[in-house]
Amino acid sequence: MSEATLSADVAIVGGGIMGSALAFWITRLDPRCVVVVVERDPSYARASSALSAAGIRQQYTTEINVRISQASIAFLRDAQRHLDRSAASLGLRESGYLYLATAAGAERLQARWRRQRALGVEVARLERADLAARFPWLAANDLALGTLGLRGEGWFDGPGLLAAFASQARAQGARYLRGEAVGFSGSGPHLDGIRLADGRIVRSAAIVNAAGPWARTVARWAGIELPVSARRRTVYVIDCPSRLAGLPLLIDPSGFWIRPEGAYYIAGYPPTPDEDGAPLEPDYAGFESVLWPALAERIPAFESARLRGAWAGYYEMNDFDQNGLLGTLPDHPRLWFINGFSGHGLQQAPVVARGLAERILFGRYRTLDLSALDVTRWADDRPLQEMNVI
């Protein structure tokens, strides 16, 4: 085989958290398996995995997402054992997520709380008086209800997790190729490789689309119009002179979220309009016009807050039902998807990547049944709607 042609058992487009966690699990479960990861930017400057808020929560509306989170938090708590020593610094803080509702949303929040409790989530129901007593800095007058995760929710070092997966995958034999994938060789059931811009080809009978917000472009090489778009989200870094004791990750009924980050706070909100592929620059104007007024209304101490900085990344949004798309499609049995995690991919990566590794290597899920996320549900028009998307 010429230098320009490499061969692999599994070839992955994209070395973000999905591609790297998958490379890690495949080489962990089958050390003889040859894995090649094609990544165009080893600095991950635009990759979602390097630009996220790195939160993990249990408060979902679909059972599968709760089950994934239960397994993910177990993995993160024990990361040092699974990964290498560097994982010791993942900085997991289980400070909780606090969902707030006014009267208009209280019934819905209550129904979700009931369901989550039935699934074993440790989540407290707080009425207005409880909220005011527990969080004295909160303007609670218009609030009717809150739900607070008591265990298994918080945040961690996202880039640290990516680095730990990638370095451990390499240590286990996975090969990272720096290069831009531009197409496939073969087609349909005969797909047999990834073509790179510099002319190299990675031959493989198992090809994985782990291209994050760029997943639709990659799927198009096989003639598939995957419903994944790149939705810009700005994360604002805010300085506030007052310390807000016990602030978890708070999700306001107006849509914004905020949490502590070192000496500062980070916050964001879902923008409208929410177009596909907006330039990857922070929306600084949105701080003054949208976020700050809403923040100061909910937490009056933020009236004297200042914007310290901001960054932007893409949610790899599944426009079909806002849940991950996993597995293969009937006409393309050699093309695997691990896409569309819609703002909750970093926390799910340890578990969904393990599941996909099991499917690729053994033909079935062995640890957690992830068939609810099968990409065929999109082809069959059977949405699995997740209502709690932040």
**Cβ closest to ligand FAD, residue 256 vs residue 341:** 341
Which strands, in side-by-side order, build the sheet including 207-209?
Answer: 175-178, 35-39, 10-13, 207-209, 332-339, 325-329
Q: By CB under 6 A, is residue 350 in contact with ligand FAD? A: no
State in angstroms the smallest separation of the CB of 390 from ligand FAD: 7
State in angstroms the smallest separation of the CB of 322 from ligand FAD: 11
State in angstroms the smallest separation of the CB of 219 from ligand FAD: 11
**Cβ closest to ligand FAD, residue 20 vs residue 147:** 20
Q: By CB under 6 A, is residue 235 in contact with ligand FAD? A: yes
Could you say which of 16, 96, 149, 160 contacts ligand FAD (CB under 6 A)? 16
**Interacting residues of 113 by C-beta distance below 8 A, sequence separation 6+:** 123, 125, 147
DSSP 237: E
Nearest to 148 by CA among 284, 250, 69, 14: 250
Residue 347 tokens, joined: 């926390």
Cis ω on the peptide bond leading into residue 270 (within 30° of 0)? no
Percentages helix, strand, coil for the chain, rounded to the nearest 5?
Answer: 35, 25, 40
Residues 278-317 that bind ligand FAD (CB under 6 A): 313-316
DSSP 288: I
Rounded Cα–Cα distance for residues 196 and 40 (Å)? 10
State in angstroms the smallest separation of the CB of 57 from ligand FAD: 8
Q: By CB under 6 A, is residue 355 in contact with ligand FAD? A: no
**Cβ closest to ligand FAD, residue 38 vs residue 373:** 38
Q: By CB under 6 A, is residue 259 in contact with ligand FAD? A: no
**Cβ closest to ligand FAD, residue 128 vs residue 311:** 311
Could you say which of 44, 265, 292, 378 contacts ligand FAD (CB under 6 A)? 44
Q: By CB under 6 A, is residue 377 in contact with ligand FAD? A: no
Rounded Cα–Cα distance for residues 15 and 174 (Å)? 11
Rounded Cα–Cα distance for residues 317 and 230 (Å)? 6
Residue with tokens 């265990």: 151
Which alpha helices (DSSP H) does the chain contain, by range? 17-29, 63-77, 79-82, 103-118, 128-134, 158-171, 215-220, 284-286, 292-298, 345-362, 376-379
**Cβ closest to ligand FAD, residue 49 vs residue 116:** 49
Rounded Cα–Cα distance for residues 63 and 82 (Å)? 25
**Cβ closest to ligand FAD, residue 48 vs residue 204:** 48
Q: By CB under 6 A, is residue 75 in contact with ligand FAD? A: no
# chain residues binding ligand FAD, by CB under 6 A: 39
Q: Which residues pair with 12 in a beta bridge?
A: 37, 208
Q: Which span (88-96, 104-112, 336-344, 378-386) binds ligand FAD, by CB under 6 A?
A: 336-344
Q: By CB under 6 A, is residue 38 in contact with ligand FAD? A: yes
Q: Which span (13-21, 93-101, 128-136, 239-247) binds ligand FAD, by CB under 6 A?
A: 13-21
Q: By CB under 6 A, is residue 168 in contact with ligand FAD? A: no
Which residues form the interface with ligand FAD (CB under 6 A)?
13-19, 38-41, 44, 47-49, 51-55, 180-181, 210-214, 233, 235, 313-316, 341, 343-347
